[in-house]
Structure 1
Amino acid sequence: MIPFSDEDLLGPVKDSLDKIRPMLQNDGGDMKLLGIKNAVVYVQLVGACHGCPSSTSTLKHGVERQLRIDIHPELSVVNIPLGQDFDIQRV
Structure 2
Amino acid sequence: MKEEVAKIIDKIRPSLQADGGDVKLVDVDDEKGIVKVKLLGACQGCPMSTMTIKNGIERVLKEKVPGVKEVKPV
> TM-score with structure 2 length normalisation?
0.90
| CA-CA distance at 1:75 after TM superposition | 2.1
SS in 1 for 2:46: coil
- Residues 28-86 of structure 1 deviation map (CA, whole Å, 9 limit, x = unaligned): 00011111122100010010000001100010010000101101265210001xxxxxx
- Runs of 4+ with deviation above 3 angstroms: none
Normalized per residue, the structure richer in strand is 2
Gaps of 5+ in 1: 1-8, 81-91
SS in 2 for 1:56: helix
The answer to whether the aligner puts 1:53 opposite 2:26 as a matched pair is no
Out of 22, 34, 45, the residue aligned to residue 30 of structure 1 is 22
Question: What does 1:10-25 align with in structure 2 at a 5 Å threshold?
Answer: 10-25=2-17
Out of 7, 29, 33, the residue aligned to residue 39 of structure 1 is 33
SS in 1 for 2:44: coil
Amino acid at match of 2:46: C
The separation in 1 between residues aligned to 2:42 and 2:6, in whole angstroms, is 21
The separation in 2 between residues aligned to 1:63 and 1:19, in whole angstroms, is 10
CA RMSD across the alignment:
1.2
SS in 2 for 1:53: coil
SS in 2 for 1:41: strand
Percent sequence identity over matched residues? 44
Match of 1:85 in 2: none
